[in-house]
Each structure stands twice: as C-alpha cells, then as structure tokens.
Amino acid sequence: MGDTSDLRNGTIIKIDGKLFSVVEFQHVKVQQRRPIVRTRLKQIPEGYVLEKTFMAGDRVEEVRLERRQCQFLYTAGDLYYLMALETYEQFPVSRVIVENALPYLVENMIVTLLADGDRPITIELPFIVELAVKETEPGVRGDTAQGGSKSAILETGTAVTVPLFIEAGNVLRIDTRTGRYIERA
C-alpha cells in the first residue's frame, strides 16, 4: 500500500481488482483545496486507457509484478510460446498477453514477461529492436528541401516512415515506445 505521492511512470497499481500501469502523472496544486494527482492509466493486459484523478495523499494499492526474461519461440493459433531463460521451461500465453508487442515481435526475440505470481500479465519489449524491411517503394528524390521520407513494411507487417535511401532487405533499428525509425543496423 502506498499513496499518490509514490506514483511514477510504469508503477503498477490495482483499482477495483484490475491492474493498471501508470502512463503519465501530474501533481496539480489547486487554490484553497488539497492538491490533486491527475493520472493516465493503461489497463493490463487489455490496454485501454483510463484517466483518473486522485486527491493528494489518497491510498493506492501498488502491485509488485515478477519480471522474467523469456525468449519468444513460436506461435500456434492464438497461443504464443515463450521459454524462460533461467529454467528453459517452455509455456504458452494467450494473444491478449502479447497484444501490445505484436507490431514488433519476431521469433527468438528476448522479452520481459510480467507475472502476478504464476499468472502472466503482459510482456515488455526491449526499447530498440532490429527488424528487416519486407517491402518499400523505390526512393525518388523530388522537390524536397530536407531528406524526404517514404513508408516501409517491416517483417512483422508493421508500417513505419523511413528515409528515401532505405531499401527492401535493410535491417532497421526501431524504437518500440514510439514506433519510429532510428537508424540502419
């Protein structure tokens, strides 16, 4: 149990029996009233966003999730198979657990599994992943003052905006937090 002054980005809290991750928080001082804490919360694992305002000092139930390093092996239907790197135990998780990571998830990728005891909650990707370009249109320089950009489809099927010099087959570094191209690998 903590209070709203302990909230930070990434903190996991329980509200009405459901788990939420703090995406944003802001302490606001209101004239002649108690300060408030405005938050933007993301439900785990469903992913819908909730905006909630707490009074400063309100009690919130913090949840400590276990983090385990896992390797994504393969998919079979709606099940995604992971292997714990410490024990080499293989286990399936449902699509709901990996939904937020699907745009960047490829076989053999190392991910972090968040679990509440033995119950998997969600997975976290590394901040930067390397993915190959499956297809992109040819880069044609036009009347651009700066570099220019085009769309590219990655091996996972996700579209990103890239510079004109990127070609099919290039391996790119992508920021999973923003979904933006960083550089060629």
Residue 49, number of CB atoms within 10 A of its CB = 11
135 to 155, 156, 176: CA distances (angstroms)? 8, 11, 20
Residue 72 clears pLDDT 80, i.e. is over it: yes
Global pTM exceeds 0.85: no
Q: How many CB atoms lie within 10 A of CB 10?
A: 9
112 and 80 within one domain: yes
Higher-confidence residue: 69 or 22?
69
| Domain end among 108, 124, 140 | 124
The Cα–Cα gap between 154 and 175 comes to: 13
Segment (H or E) for 137? none
Last residue of a domain, one of 84, 100, 124: 124
Contacts 24+ apart (CB under 8 A), 16-19: 18/43, 19/43, 19/44, 19/63, 19/116, 19/121
| Residue 112 and residue 141 in one domain | no
Residues 81 and 118 in one domain: yes
Does the pLDDT at position 33 exceed 60?
yes
End-to-end CA distance of the chain: 44
CATH of the domain at 177: 2.40.50.140
Does one domain contain both 54 and 105?
no
Q: Which domain holds residue 70?
A: 66-124
Tally of domains within the chain:
3
Tokens at 68, concatenated: 């385990």
**49, 92: one domain:** no
Quick one: 118 and 95 in the same domain?
yes
Last residue of a domain, one of 81, 107, 124: 124
**Which has the minimum average pLDDT: 34-38, 43-47, 140-144, 160-164?**
140-144
- For 6, phi and psi rounded to 5 degrees? -90, -5
> 75 and 120 share a domain?
yes
CATH of residue 48:
2.30.30.30
